Amino acid sequence: MKTLVLVRHAKSSWESAAQDDFDRPLNQRGQHDAPIMARRVMEKGVRPDLLVSSPAMRAITTAEIFVDTMGLPQELLRENREIYEAGLNELVRIVRELPEGAETVLLFGHNPGITLLNKFLCGEHIDNVVTCGAICMELEAGSWKEVGTGAGKLLWYEYPKKPA
């Protein structure tokens, strides 16, 4: 069994209209929510072997906050340029290409891709994974290469404003 946690980047800033989308940083709420969500993921017992993130500023910053908050070695975090603006097919391919030695992976990305990937893997209807939302699923596949539609079982969905 493999465990996959899909994390949408934390809330980002729209302060500068001239700023390129790729370079948008987290806003104050995003900086606040990311460590809270990292702690929630830890409290759920998740100990990742690997974290893979879009290199867009808001996604990689969210991933770095998770690494720091969870006390993980920085070398567990890898960037994958293909996650930025990836559609469902690209995200499925990225999951299928994860290293087999990694049993639990956190994947940091963007909508609509994160929401679509959850629907594809779990069949669970979550209209819109909110910023800094985290979806944990257990994959019935013994190998990342075997991951396909309906292979995931939703374990939980947490998000910053979810009541305790």
Annotation-wise, does 58 bind a ligand? yes
Residue among 92, 24, 95, 28 at smallest CA distance from 56: 24
- The tokens describing 67, both together, are 């690494």
Torsion angle of C-alpha atoms 115, 31, 63, 150, degrees rounded to 10: -20
Residue 152: C-alpha distances to residues 8, 94, 98, 136 (Å): 18, 16, 16, 9
Burial class of residue 88, CB neighbours in 10 A (0-12, 13-18, 19+): middle
The DSSP code sequence of 122-138 is H----S-PPTT-EEEEE
CB 141 within 8 A of CB 2: yes
**Distance of alpha carbon 13 from its chain centroid, rounded?**
19
Per the annotation, binding residues are: 58
Annotated binding site for substrate: 58
